[in-house]
Homo-oligomer: A and B are copies of this chain.
Amino acid sequence: MFTVYGMADSGNCYKVKLALEQLGKPYRWVEVDSTRGETRSKEFLARNPNGKVPTLQLEDGTYLPESNAILYYLAEGTPLLPADKLGRARALQWMFFEQYSHEPYIAVARSILRYQPAESPRRAELPRLHERGNQALAVMEQHLSRSPFFAGTGYSVADIALFAYTHVAADGGFELKRYPAVSAWLARVGAQPKHVPLG
Stretch at the interface among A19-27, A30-38, A66-74: A66-74
Set B68, B101, B142: member contacting A92, Cβ < 8 A: B68
Q: Is the CB of B50 within 8 A of A69?
A: no
| A101 touching B50 in the complex, CB below 8 Å, given contacts A76-B85, A76-B88, A93-B64 | yes
| A96 touching B76 in the complex, CB below 8 Å, given contacts A49-B139, A49-B142 | no
Set B64, B97, B99, B142: member contacting A89, Cβ < 8 A: B64
Shortest distance in angstroms between A185's beta carbon and chain B's nearest beta carbon?
16
Q: Is the CB of A89 within 8 A of B104?
A: no
The complex places the Cα of A143 from the Cα of B63 at a distance, in Å, of 14
User: Does A82 sit at the interface, judged by CB under 8 A?
Assistant: no
The complex places the Cα of A104 from the Cα of B100 at a distance, in Å, of 8
Shortest distance in angstroms between A87's beta carbon and chain B's nearest beta carbon?
10
A42-100, CB < 8 A from B: 49-50, 52, 58, 62, 64-70, 72-73, 76, 85-86, 88-90, 92-93, 95-97, 99-100
The complex places the Cα of A155 from the Cα of B92 at a distance, in Å, of 21
Of A88, A89, A101, A142, most buried by chain B (CB within 10 Å of CB) is: A89
The complex places the Cα of A142 from the Cα of B142 at a distance, in Å, of 42
Of A58, A93, A95, A103, most buried by chain B (CB within 10 Å of CB) is: A93
Q: Is the CB of B62 within 8 A of A86?
A: yes
Set B66, B76, B103: member contacting A97, Cβ < 8 A: B66
Of A50, A52, A67, A85, most buried by chain B (CB within 10 Å of CB) is: A50
Q: Is the CB of B101 within 8 A of A73?
A: no
Q: Is the CB of B139 within 8 A of A50?
A: yes
**Contacting residues, chain B, for A93 (C-beta < 8 A):** 64-66, 69
Q: Pick 5 A–B contacts, CB within 8 A, sort by A.
A: A64-B86, A64-B93, A76-B85, A96-B99, A104-B104
